[in-house]
Amino acid sequence: MIQEHAPIYTVKEIALNIFQLSFLSPSISLGALPGQFVNVRVEDSAVPLLRRPFSISSVDGEIVSIIFNVIGLGTKLLSQKKPGETLDVLGPLGKGIFPFDDEEYRTALLIAGGLGVAAFPFLISRLPSSKEVVSFLGARSSSYVVRHGLKNVRIATDDGSEGFTGTVVELMKMFLKENPVDRPRIFSCGPMPMMRALAELSLEKNIPCYVALECEMACGIGLCQGCPVETVNAGKKYNLVCKDGPVFEIRNVKF
């Protein structure tokens, strides 16, 4: 984990109101693992005060990128950054990562709702070439679909403007019914209702499933204790999303 002022490389809108920002960081790019995140100081200011956590979306040489939706002041300011400016970044953070390089599975089923997709380009880039990949993306409509960096993409939209009309978990369920899958493992990230549905599906189909959780955070390194997630681990009611996660086995999480 390091804290540094990294030079910004590019900032671009890649879908409606969705931006990708990349910065140069030899040390973060060297140390990062799929599922980890960075905690970004938008401005040296009292408003916004706290850092903003973002999944590491891709690592290309020494260039690290994040993807974000413009929601509030912090992300708005971030979207207005210019190449050449610096960004105060703390990372790579998180001990819970996507288990991606073992021999226990052969097919990586990636499933994301909305910007839950952010962590997947990095994960895909690190998967051993022996793995099959199928990516399932859910979005409100086609203008919000971010397919950048993904492989073998299947899309579900709420309004039917692209792909399957319905939820992304329903789409995956249909896929699993119609296609034989060799030793699958699910990697996921998305909003709560999707996670609940996925927890049920993975249990029913007995497929190991890992989830990257999102949570409002202050420090991102365990100091504030502000991002608990209730888990079924014995002896300890809560784990911290920032330090123990952000990736957990879905069956250990109480939704």
Q: In the complex, which residues of this chain contact other proteins (CB under 8 A)?
A: 1-3, 41, 46-51, 215-219, 221-230, 236-238
Four-CA torsion 206, 121, 54, 1, nearest 10 degrees: 90
Question: Which residues pair with residue 228 across a beta bridge?
Answer: 240
Q: By the 8 A CB rule, do 131 and 144 touch?
A: no
Q: Is 212 exposed, middle or buried (0-12, 13-18, 19+ CB in 10 A)?
A: buried
Q: By the 8 A CB rule, do 38 and 54 touch?
A: yes
CB of 92 to other proteins, least distance (A): 13
CB of 95 to other proteins, least distance (A): 12
CB of 63 to other proteins, least distance (A): 24
Please count the other Cβ atoms lying within 10 Å of the Cβ belonging to residue 137: 27
CB of 240 to other proteins, least distance (A): 9
- Residue by residue, DSSP assigns 173-184 as HHHHHHS--SSE
Q: Which is nearer to other proteins, 186 or 217 (CB)?
A: 217
Q: Which is nearer to other proteins, 111 or 221 (CB)?
A: 221
Q: Which is nearer to other proteins, 202 or 239 (CB)?
A: 239
Q: Which is nearer to other proteins, 167 or 231 (CB)?
A: 231
